[in-house]
């Protein structure tokens, strides 16, 4: 089925999310939609899926203009969507999830589960999916859950398949498998729209690339284009993709973690017997698929976890059992993985957010009273220094884009006297331009003698920042390897296997 989007315009108040976007996707083609967060990709796809109505423009399938008033219409017309956050019910089986919303029933309204099972098996076989229709979705790995979503779309005879940031949650291996699946789907004549901001994947699998920036199509590119070309199209200016990092001889041991165990209230062990050290002027990057104990590890370092065993020593001082405030005051900087939940107070101004962890005394508080003029001065300074794009220091953090929000967090942490910087997912959901800036700041911190722990699920980020790489799997350390370790080895380690030559 051939999909044509013609001059789609979608406005939200004064904001033009999509400005006359046109796109043609042929059957048997993988069309990559490349753009930064907030560029308007998801809005466009929600228009296509009937979730939003376009203000102008039309959608055409095989030459027929469509009017979708909801996802039901879009599905009936042959459009399938795999959302970034899966829309599956964890306690249902695969077959039940696949039939959900399109249940075939038999006598007296009884569900015809057998038909659904058959359909799952058929599709699995056709595309080599290897999915058991009777498995509970919650028991399946993320990559397989994603396949269930694809099966679900295919079971409604989707001819146009939209994959919204499908690789965000996958391991490198799972990503490779997904690419394989996408190629198979393409061969069977499906039209695929592949939304992403990851350049490498686009070049690997796409037949055609359309780049969107600020709601407009800014260019089309061939898969042969270089990463730098694609990135500059996306950002609108030349971008440095590689982090420039001079080799540096690390100094004294700053952080020593030994036998760390983190247990939650339910008794589950999230971090198990983890030991490592970081020296001054060294970046240790923690690689691993999301949910393998990284969150708990960083929280334990900050004193945010309740049940922690083992020892965390910062310059010789034991931190286990100390309060968050004590740990922050002893020189630990923290960039939390979810800036909106833990990094910022959204309804506070930028200035207030910049003093969030320094509300107990100098330099912003005297005799229990806020020193507002001093704070404002400081904030204006940081706005400039960290290139935070905002109307002013009194703008609310909520009003900033993800990249600028993150810069506020980075500015706050790096403007304190920090020996150890714990950066969890420092560039998640951040635009390419800000990623470049934040990476530079982290490296600058390392060069200034900080010990840095970077946690990232993006292998690119790990590889470009790390002096050493620690791979974690199910709360345990698989190994700590040098920066130059090949990606495929790291990918394998992220699944828990320890290849030869990698020592723990």
Q: CB-wise, 344 or 469, nearer to other proteins? A: 344
Residue among 21, 24, 48 at smallest CA distance from 216: 21
Q: Applying CB under 8 A, which part among 172-180, 203-211, 336-344, 482-490 lies near other proteins?
A: 336-344
Least distance from other proteins to the Cβ atom of residue 19, Å: 12
Residue written as token pair 């979708």 = 68
Rule CB under 8 A: choose which of 96, 149, 352, 431 binds other proteins. Answer: 352
Q: Under 8 Å CB-to-CB from 166, ≥6 apart: which residues?
A: 82, 84, 146, 178, 194, 195, 196
Contact status, residue 470 vs residue 276, Cβ threshold 8 Å: yes
Q: CB-wise, 251 or 392, nearer to other proteins? A: 392
Residue among 80, 71, 56 at smallest CA distance from 3: 80
Least distance from other proteins to the Cβ atom of residue 150, Å: 19
Q: Does 340 bind other proteins (CB under 8 A)?
A: yes
Q: CB-wise, 41 or 468, nearer to other proteins? A: 41
Rule CB under 8 A: choose which of 7, 114, 306, 398 binds other proteins. Answer: 398
Q: What is the widest separation between alpha-carbon atoms in the chain?
A: 77
Least distance from other proteins to the Cβ atom of residue 61, Å: 24
Q: Applying CB under 8 A, which part among 98-106, 183-191, 333-341, 485-493 lies near other proteins?
A: 333-341
Q: Does 394 bind other proteins (CB under 8 A)?
A: no
Q: CB-wise, 225 or 234, nearer to other proteins? A: 234
Rule CB under 8 A: choose which of 5, 30, 34, 40 binds other proteins. Answer: 40
Write out the binding residues for other proteins, residues 356-375 only, by CB under 8 A: 356-357, 359-360, 364-365, 368-370, 372
By the 10 Å C-beta count (0-12 exposed, 13-18 middle, 19+ buried), 369 is classed as exposed
Q: CB-wise, 185 or 411, nearer to other proteins? A: 411
Q: Mask of contacts with other proteins, 144-183, x by CB under 8 A?
A: ------------------------xx--------------
Rule CB under 8 A: choose which of 336, 445, 475, 491 binds other proteins. Answer: 336
Q: CB-wise, 245 or 412, nearer to other proteins? A: 412
CA 461 – CA 337 distance, rounded (Å): 14
Q: Kindly state the tokens that stand for 359.
A: 């509300």
Least distance from other proteins to the Cβ atom of residue 500, Å: 34
Edge-first strand listing for the sheet containing 160-164: 79-82, 160-164, 191-196, 29-34, 208-213, 216-221
CA 310 – CA 137 distance, rounded (Å): 35
Q: CB-wise, 29 or 174, nearer to other proteins? A: 174
CA 181 – CA 195 distance, rounded (Å): 16
Least distance from other proteins to the Cβ atom of residue 418, Å: 13
Least distance from other proteins to the Cβ atom of residue 145, Å: 13
Q: Does 338 bind other proteins (CB under 8 A)?
A: yes
CA 253 – CA 281 distance, rounded (Å): 10
**CA quadruple 51, 56, 60, 63: dihedral, nearest 10:** 160
Q: Strand, coil or helix: what is 463?
A: helix
Distances in whole angstroms, Cα of residue 80 to Cα of each of 18, 35, 65, 168, 316: 21, 21, 18, 19, 56
Q: Strand, coil or helix: what is 376?
A: helix
Least distance from other proteins to the Cβ atom of residue 341, Å: 5
Write out the binding residues for other proteins, residues 288-327 only, by CB under 8 A: 295, 302, 304, 323-327
| Alpha helix stretches (DSSP H) within 416-481 | 432-447, 459-465
Rule CB under 8 A: choose which of 89, 345, 444, 448 binds other proteins. Answer: 345
Least distance from other proteins to the Cβ atom of residue 305, Å: 11
CA 196 – CA 40 distance, rounded (Å): 12
Residue written as token pair 């791979």 = 471
Tell me the number of residues near other proteins by CB under 8 A.
Answer: 56
Rule CB under 8 A: choose which of 133, 143, 343, 403 binds other proteins. Answer: 343
Q: Does 85 bind other proteins (CB under 8 A)?
A: yes
- Rounded to 10 deg, the angle between the 402-414 and 432-447 helix axes is 10
Q: Does 239 bind other proteins (CB under 8 A)?
A: no
What is the DSSP track for 105-134?
Answer: B-GGG-B-HHHHHHHHHHHHHHHT----TT
Least distance from other proteins to the Cβ atom of residue 212, Å: 11
Rule CB under 8 A: choose which of 39, 410, 451, 465 binds other proteins. Answer: 39
Q: Does 417 bind other proteins (CB under 8 A)?
A: no
Cis before 16 (ω within 30)? no
Residue 477 phi/psi, 5-degree rounding, is: -85, 120
Q: Does 275 bind other proteins (CB under 8 A)?
A: no
Residues at the contact surface with other proteins, assessed by CB under 8 A: 12-13, 15, 17, 37-43, 84-85, 168-169, 295, 302, 304, 323-329, 334, 336-338, 340-348, 352, 355-357, 359-360, 364-365, 368-370, 372, 398-399, 402, 425, 428-429
């Amino acid at each position: 089925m051939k999909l044509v989007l013609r001059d789609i315009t979608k406005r939200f108040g004064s904001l033009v999310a999509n400005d006359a976007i046109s796109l043609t996707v042929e059957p048997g083609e993988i069309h990559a939609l490349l753009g930064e967060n907030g560029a308007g990709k998801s809005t466009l796809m929600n228009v296509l899926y009937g979730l939003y109505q376009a203000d102008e423009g039309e959608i055409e399938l095989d030459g027929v203009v469509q009017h979708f008033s909801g996802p039901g219409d879009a599905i009936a017309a042959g459009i399938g969507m795999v959302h970034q956050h899966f829309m599956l019910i964890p306690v249902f089986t695969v077959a039940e999830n696949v039939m959900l919303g399109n249940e075939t029933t038999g006598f007296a309204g009884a569900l015809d589960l057998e038909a659904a099972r058959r359909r799952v098996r058929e599709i699995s076989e056709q595309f080599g999916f290897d999915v058991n229709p009777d498995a509970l979705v919650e028991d399946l790995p993320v990559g397989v859950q994603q396949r269930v979503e694809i099966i679900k779309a295919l079971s409604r005879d989707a001819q146009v398949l939209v994959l919204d940031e499908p690789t965000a949650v996958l391991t490198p291996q799972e990503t490779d498998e997904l690419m394989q699946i996408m190629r198979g789907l393409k061969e069977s004549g499906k039209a695929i729209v592949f939304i992403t901001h990851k350049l490498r994947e686009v070049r690997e699998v796409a037949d055609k690339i359309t780049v969107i920036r600020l709601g407009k199509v800014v260019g089309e590119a061939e898969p042969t284009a270089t990463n730098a070309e694609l990135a500059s199209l996306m950002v609108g200016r030349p971008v440095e993709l590689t982090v420039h990092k001079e080799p540096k001889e690390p100094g004294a041991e700053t952080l020593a973690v030994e036998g760390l165990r983190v247990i939650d209230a339910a008794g589950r062990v999230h971090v198990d017997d983890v030991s490592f050290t970081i020296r001054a002027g060294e970046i240790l990057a923690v690689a691993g698929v999301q949910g393998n104990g990284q969150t708990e590890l960083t929280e334990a370092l900050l004193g945010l976890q309740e049940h922690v065993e083992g020892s965390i020593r910062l310059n010789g001082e034991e931190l286990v059992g100390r309060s968050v405030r004590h740990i922050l005051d002893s020189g630990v900087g923290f960039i939390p993985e979810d800036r909106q939940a833990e990094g910022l107070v959204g309804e506070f101004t930028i200035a207030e957010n910049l003093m969030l962890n320094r509300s107990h005394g100098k330099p912003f508080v005297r005799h229990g009273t806020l020193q507002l003029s001093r704070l404002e001065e400081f904030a204006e300074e940081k706005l400039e220094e960290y290139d935070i794009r905002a109307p002013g220091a009194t703008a609310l953090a909520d009003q900033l884009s993800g990249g600028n929000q993150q810069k506020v967090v980075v500015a706050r942490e790096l403007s304190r006297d920090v020996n150890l910087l714990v950066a969890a997912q420092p560039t998640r959901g951040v635009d390419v331009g800000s990623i470049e800036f934040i990476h530079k700041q982290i490296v600058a911190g390392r060069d200034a003698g900080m010990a840095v722990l970077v946690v990232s699920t993006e292998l690119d980020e790990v590889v470009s920042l790390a002096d050493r790489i620690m791979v974690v799997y199910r709360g345990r350390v698989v190994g700590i390897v040098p920066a130059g370790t090949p990606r495929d080895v790291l990918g394998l380690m992220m699944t828990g296997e320890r290849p030869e030559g990698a020592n723990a």
